Structure 1
Amino acid sequence: MIAKIGRSHNLYGALAYNHLKVEKEKGQILMINKMIETPNEQYSVNQFALSFAPYLIANRNTEKHTLHISLNPNPKNELNDEQFQDIAVYYMQEMGYGNQPYVVFKHTDTGRSHIHIVSVCVDENGKKISDKFEKRRSMNVCRELEQKFGLIPAISSENKQNHSIFQPVNYQNGEIKSQIASIVRHLPNLYFFQTFGEYNALLSLFNITAEKVEGERNGKLLKGLIYFALNEKGEKVSLPFKSSLFGKNTGLLALEKHFEKNKEQLKNHPTKVSLKYAISNALQTSTNELTFKNRLAEQNINVVIRKNSEDRIYGVTFIDHHSKTVWNGSRLGKEFSANAFHESWKNDSIQNNNSTTENKSSIKLNENLNFPIEKEQHHLFDFLNEHKEQGNLLEIFGCLIPHAQHEEFDNFELNNDLMKKRKRKRKQ
């Protein structure tokens, strides 16, 4: 069981977020405690808010009076509604909120059922309920709940292994911000890339793209980064998410530092030589673009090809999952540039310049190199072996990304900064 306790001054926003899940049939109202009941058990956000009004009126000086708690059992734990209710009551009682008004929502839109609890942390006299050692107490209560209900512990080795595999963003599953967060927070720590284009190529494997934005505040030029979710066609299907929502390591400044650091580390990287051999051999044993991608996919190498509206290739990027390095084709050599591939494939045909078979090419690749080659891929890449016959790894693999251990709450404040910046540019 994993718990996250969120605090804010926006009670209405927390209620509206959960109520919207109910309206979209992606959640349900599981129970209420010390709340005003309706005859038909149907509730609006305003009706919920009435139950909290006396507490907020009595509030003395607590700025962040709203509690928004999520309780997330292991997905393998199949709990019924009654068990979820018992878990909520036990948790709130042990955390000191048992006598508070609260409403429990069950969410079912992320492939795993979990509950959200909305309450206030000031009592009926307006005094703040103590939150001393809250995180420690919450962890202890979660461990007690695991024992009480026979749940799979969140810290078990089995659960850790489950969190090691992550799927590309699927916008139809909802919780887009949470899906993007669990990927972009970790990619810079796992992969080496030197340019924004290479970073975007890597993101595209997870159905994400990033864009740079510029604005002006108090006469000062500001630069930033926004992220979008993509569909299977590579089209944007979400509102923009500011990088600040995902942490400072996902912003433009942090990425630029990452680029500079990696340029030095990749300058004489041995993977560059082995990758060039692998690409050359794949070209020699392929008859078209699809088989070329398949050849490299068999070696755990992804190819991201960008084309314009006239179907002309203007970018080719290679992603080697063994060494976790990302390379723009032209960085490897002129023969691997976008223009070179366009000329090779303009008739959807690649000239096979020698009769060497694929097996012999692979042997030559390994025998001619005087540096160690990883013979066995890391176990986290085992999923690649199951789909070698398919060409599009965007659809087939979950990747080496630690899964977010809790759901991210949506940002309720609508940000119009991007639209304002665009309007200012048009006026100039």
Structure 2
Amino acid sequence: MVAKISIGSSLYGALSYNGMKMNRDEGRVLGANKIILPADGHIDIARMVENFNLFMPKTGRTKKPVLHISLNPHPDDKLTEQQYEILAREYLDKLGFGEQPYIIYKHMDIDRHHIHIVTVNVNEQGKRLNQDFLFRRSKKITTELEEKYNLHKAQREKISPDTPIRKIDPSGDIKRQVANTVKMVGMRYKFQTIGEYNAILSLYNVKCDPADGKVNGREYHGLVYFATDDNGKTIATPFKASRLGKFASRTAIDGRFERAKDKIDVAPTKRKVADVIAHSTDNADFIAKLKEHNIDVVLRYTEEGRIYGVTFIDHNTMTVLNGSRLGKEFSANAINERFNNPANAPTDTPDVATPIVVPPIEPTPDDTGSNNQSQTGTAQDTQTSDGQQQSTVTQSVSDFGDYDLPIPGLDLFQQGQSFNPDEEEFRRRMQRKKKKGRRPKF
């Protein structure tokens, strides 16, 4: 059993969160202490706050008096509602909060049912309860309860080099899945830009956006992660990198960009992509043949259907490469002309009938677009030899950047931008064309 403790200042916020679950028929109240529960089961949040305030001083020095605790038994532990309540009450007694006012909720919003507890850590005299080694004591208590009631012991999920990366399962623990995906992608793949980073994350229905701004006069440069569905739409509240771990932070990811520069060899990927392009009849054939070589490709389209971004994900060399890094003939513009405008396609497409000499290639500017583009479109899954899921994602520029950030405080930040010379030039050309077509005003 895993216990998670959050200490905060908003009693109304904690009660509202659980009330929202009840309104969706995803939660119910199992019991309470010193809190009057209505006979009809209808929970009035304002009335609950008043009940709590009866046992709290009007003024006090404790700035964060609210504890929001979740108890998460192992999925294989099938417990009755009475057993859930017994666990919650015994846990609070051992933690020293048994005499405090509290409410116990059961959540059924995911397959693994679990308990939420809202209580306060100050007594009627305004004195704060003992919080020394709170998390250490909590861990000891959950271990004792596991042994007493013969529950499955909580085990930290171990990530090994051969652990498969899977798409986000909406019915599971989304935060943990996002964290594991980010950690494993960072451990295994090499990339040099946010665009390339997002390309590999998109295969597993995760998206990352920079968040830049100021808080209390201090500049902030962070990252925000999203869980999405196969169409790239956000399915859960986004997570700030700090909630996932240091490995997900802006500093950690920027460090991976720098280290990747000296480790990436584009030659193997370039040879395979050149061979596929030479023998592909159309866009779909190009994607299918790349998959046969264990390479995924992320294509980005304008509303008119023009390819304006292409990123290759080579699972053999574990590298993520924008098309322009392989060479001009692999850029988004070249790929678009090849498959969308065959008559204008270059005649010097690499011919694999003769040996290809690949000189050392210096990285060229990113052609994937702005860093905070949301990934939309369709995704097709395949299985690699090690059981890892892969997808080829096609995206539409029309939906990029359209999302809300419901995390408190995130409204202080603005999305970060990345400059892409190729795309900026393309957009300027398109704007000039539109201007030429306008009639003069008199």
User: TM-score with structure 2 length normalisation?
Assistant: 0.70
Alignment of 1:131-280 (within 5 A): 131-155=131-155, 160=158, 167-169=166-168, 180-184=178-182, 187-212=185-210, 214-215=212-213, 224-235=222-233, 242-243=240-241, 245-246=243-244, 249-266=247-264, 269=265, 272-280=266-274
**Is residue 417 from structure 1 mapped to residue 412 from structure 2 by the alignment?**
yes
Which residue identity is paired with 2:65? H
Work out whether residues 210 and 415 of structure 2, in 8 Å CA contact, stay in contact via their aligned partners in 1. Answer: no
Equivalence for 2:16: 16
C-alpha separation between the residues in 2 aligned to 1:78 and 1:290?
47
C-alpha separation between the residues in 2 aligned to 1:177 and 1:262?
27
Cα deviation, 1:344-403, whole Å, max 9, x if unaligned, reads 3226899999899xxxxxxx99xxxxxxxxxxxxxxx99534999x984569xxxxxxxx
Work out whether residues 194 and 260 of structure 1, in 8 Å CA contact, stay in contact via their aligned partners in 2. Answer: yes
The runs of 5 or more residues in structure 2 that have no matched partner are 357-380, 395-404, 417-442
Cα deviation, 1:4-49, whole Å, max 9, x if unaligned, reads 1111122211111111111122222222233213222321222222
Work out whether residues 59 and 125 of structure 1, in 8 Å CA contact, stay in contact via their aligned partners in 2. Answer: no
C-alpha separation between the residues in 1 aligned to 2:183 and 2:56?
36
Alignment of 1:19-418 (within 5 A): 19-57=19-57, 60-155=60-155, 160=158, 167-169=166-168, 180-184=178-182, 187-212=185-210, 214-215=212-213, 224-235=222-233, 242-243=240-241, 245-246=243-244, 249-266=247-264, 269=265, 272-284=266-278, 286-346=280-340, 383-385=383-385, 392=391, 413=408, 415-418=410-413
- The alpha-carbon distance between structure 1 residues 165 and 47, as it changes in their structure 2 partners (threshold 3 A), is farther
| Deviation for aligned residue 1:248 | 5.7
C-alpha separation between the residues in 2 aligned to 1:224 and 1:92?
36
| Bigger relative CO (Cα 8 Å, ≥ 6 apart) | 1
C-alpha separation between the residues in 2 aligned to 1:174 and 1:305?
29
- The alpha-carbon distance between structure 1 residues 101 and 223, as it changes in their structure 2 partners (threshold 3 A), is closer
SS of residue matched to 1:75: coil
C-alpha separation between the residues in 2 aligned to 1:219 and 1:149?
52
The runs of 5 or more residues in structure 1 that have no matched partner are 357-363, 366-380, 396-409, 422-428
Higher mean alpha-carbon deviation, 232-241 vs 339-348, is at: 232-241
C-alpha separation between the residues in 2 aligned to 1:177 and 1:411?
15
CA RMSD of aligned residues (A): 4.2
SS of residue matched to 1:47: helix
- The alpha-carbon distance between structure 1 residues 112 and 288, as it changes in their structure 2 partners (threshold 3 A), is farther
Work out whether residues 33 and 100 of structure 1, in 8 Å CA contact, stay in contact via their aligned partners in 2. Answer: yes
SS of residue matched to 2:97: coil
Work out whether residues 185 and 246 of structure 1, in 8 Å CA contact, stay in contact via their aligned partners in 2. Answer: no
C-alpha separation between the residues in 1 aligned to 2:315 and 2:385?
13
| Deviation for aligned residue 1:58 | 6.8
Which residue identity is paired with 1:48? M
Cα deviation, 1:216-247, whole Å, max 9, x if unaligned, reads 67888765544445443335667766555545
SS of residue matched to 2:57: helix
SS of residue matched to 1:192: coil
- Identity over aligned residues, as a percent? 37
Work out whether residues 181 and 246 of structure 1, in 8 Å CA contact, stay in contact via their aligned partners in 2. Answer: yes
C-alpha separation between the residues in 2 aligned to 1:219 and 1:117?
36
Higher mean alpha-carbon deviation, 293-302 vs 139-148, is at: 293-302
Work out whether residues 13 and 412 of structure 1, in 8 Å CA contact, stay in contact via their aligned partners in 2. Answer: no
- The alpha-carbon distance between structure 1 residues 131 and 226, as it changes in their structure 2 partners (threshold 3 A), is closer
Higher fraction of helix: 1
- The alpha-carbon distance between structure 1 residues 320 and 72, as it changes in their structure 2 partners (threshold 3 A), is farther
Work out whether residues 164 and 386 of structure 2, in 8 Å CA contact, stay in contact via their aligned partners in 1. Answer: no
C-alpha separation between the residues in 2 aligned to 1:141 and 1:199?
40
Work out whether residues 193 and 259 of structure 1, in 8 Å CA contact, stay in contact via their aligned partners in 2. Answer: yes
SS of residue matched to 2:310: strand
Length, aligned pairs only: 377
C-alpha separation between the residues in 2 aligned to 1:257 and 1:133?
34
C-alpha separation between the residues in 2 aligned to 1:198 and 1:341?
18
Which residue identity is paired with 1:134? L
C-alpha separation between the residues in 2 aligned to 1:117 and 1:217?
31
C-alpha separation between the residues in 1 aligned to 2:406 and 2:56?
22
Cα deviation, 1:117-136, whole Å, max 9, x if unaligned, reads 11112234433222233222
Cα deviation, 1:272-326, whole Å, max 9, x if unaligned, reads 3332233234445544333433333344432111121222222211223344321
Which residue identity is paired with 1:417? L
SS of residue matched to 1:55: coil
Work out whether residues 229 and 238 of structure 1, in 8 Å CA contact, stay in contact via their aligned partners in 2. Answer: yes
| Deviation for aligned residue 1:265 | 2.7
| Deviation for aligned residue 1:254 | 4.3
Cα deviation, 1:318-344, whole Å, max 9, x if unaligned, reads 223344321112212333222232233
SS of residue matched to 2:123: coil
Work out whether residues 297 and 310 of structure 2, in 8 Å CA contact, stay in contact via their aligned partners in 1. Answer: yes
Higher mean alpha-carbon deviation, 338-347 vs 11-20, is at: 338-347
SS of residue matched to 1:315: strand
